[in-house]
DNA sequence: CAACTATATCCTACTTTGTAGATGATATCA
DNA sequence: TGATATCATCTACAAAGTAGGATATAGTTG
């Protein structure tokens, strides 16, 4: 029985976005990736707060990019997964998959209400 | 973009357990199902509190069983999913799947640390 | 019947996560 | 300098997660 550190729901989205985005990951792109990919809404404030908390846990580190010669091209605070972060994401995702796997919820089609 | 009601991490576990257990679902069995199935730890207190909150949201209803002629066989407070609860579980599970789907996390094997 | 064992639930107090509007920074361009 | 476009931080509160300890109720035993 793992008593351990299970990620919160939104934390999972943020870490998964980092995994997908790689070097392109920073506040705005993380938010975009979550919304486009999953359809789940995510405010920028929520993203930044969560990234900060994940960094405190050692799951994320930051690095700053050079400013770009375009409007609004200020330097960005990029985020990347640490090995511990990747491990935490994997553990949470696996446990969730085991729990949801096989449950008939219309995960493939069936859509609609009720 | 769904601004809507996304379930918390533990709420997903509890609702999934209800879906699996059917008529057998009550505090103790819910806890057992979560722990056995996913490996995620779950205290009884957490389970009851979460069931109560899910009921307030209209995702769960309760019914009481007859006491049984065995030691500790008091009547149990069973829980079942409402249609809204099943729908909420499905929505959260789908969004999560879309976000995690395809991410290389060793969801099938590869195990180990780092 | 009192004491004991086995299950099951409730209560309570607190920690962690989730949320997002308002505010402040910094880049180019007119 | 003023206007526009990104991006980040702050703040304050709401919602979800947690679990120890108290309480309830069944049969059993002496």
- Within 7 A of a protein CB, which nucleotides of strand C? 5-13, 16-22, 25-29
pLDDT at A61 over 80: yes
Reported as a single tens digit per residue, the pLDDT across B61-109 is 999 999 999 998 999 999 999 999 999 999 999 999 999 987 776 644 4
Q: How distant is C1' of D22 from CA of B105, in Å? A: 44
Total count of residues recorded for chain A? 114
| A64: DSSP letter | E
Average pLDDT over residues A66-87: 96
Average pLDDT over residues A99-112: 65
Residues of A in contact with B105 (CB under 8 A): 19, 86, 89-90, 93-94
pLDDT class of A1 with cuts at 50, 70, 90? low
pLDDT at A77 over 70: yes
Of A93-107, B42-56, B96-110, the range with the lowest mean pLDDT is: B96-110
pLDDT of residue A59: 98
Catalogue all structural domains in chain B, each as residue range(s) with its CATH number.
9-98 (1.10.10.10)
Distance from CA of A100 to the nearest CA of B (A): 6
Q: Do A105 and B19 touch (CB under 8 A)?
A: yes
pLDDT at A104 over 80: no
Tokens at residue A95, please?
Answer: 């446990």
| Of the candidates B38, B19, B13, B94, the residue with the CA atom closest to the CA atom of residue A106 | B94
Cross-chain CB nearest to A39 (options B16, B87, B98): B98
Q: What are phi and psi of A68, to 5 degrees?
A: -110, 150
- Contact of B109 with chain A, judged by CB distance below 8 Å, is answered with no
- C-alpha–C-alpha distance, residues B51 and A68, integer Å: 51
pLDDT of residue A14: 98
Reported as a single tens digit per residue, the pLDDT across A19-44 is 999 999 999 999 999 999 999 999 99
Average pLDDT over residues A66-93: 96
CA of A6: nearest nucleotide by C1' is D17
**CA nearest to nucleotide D6 C1': residue:** A72
* Residue linked to tokens 């972060």: A85
- C-alpha–C-alpha distance, residues A79 and A54, integer Å: 10
pLDDT at A107 over 90: no
Reported as a single tens digit per residue, the pLDDT across B3-43 is 568 999 999 999 999 999 999 999 999 999 999 999 999 99
Tokens at residue B93, please?
Answer: 């599970």
What are the CA-CA distances from residue B109 to residues A25, A52, A75, B30 (Å)? 27, 31, 39, 27
pLDDT class of B111 with cuts at 50, 70, 90? very low
């Amino acid at each position: 029985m793992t008593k351990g550190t299970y990620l919160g729901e939104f934390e999972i989205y943020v870490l998964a976005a980092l995994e997908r985005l790689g070097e392109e990951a920073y506040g705005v792109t993380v938010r975009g990736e979550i919304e486009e990919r999953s359809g789940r809404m995510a405010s920028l404030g929520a993203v930044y707060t969560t990234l900060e908390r994940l960094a405190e846990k050692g799951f994320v580190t930051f690095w700053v990019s050079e400013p770009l010669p375009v409007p609004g091209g200020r330097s960005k605070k990029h985020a990347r997964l640490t090995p511990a972060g990747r491990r935490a994401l994997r553990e949470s995702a696996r446990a969730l998959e085991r729990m949801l796997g096989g449950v008939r919820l219309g995960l493939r089609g069936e859509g609609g209400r009720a």
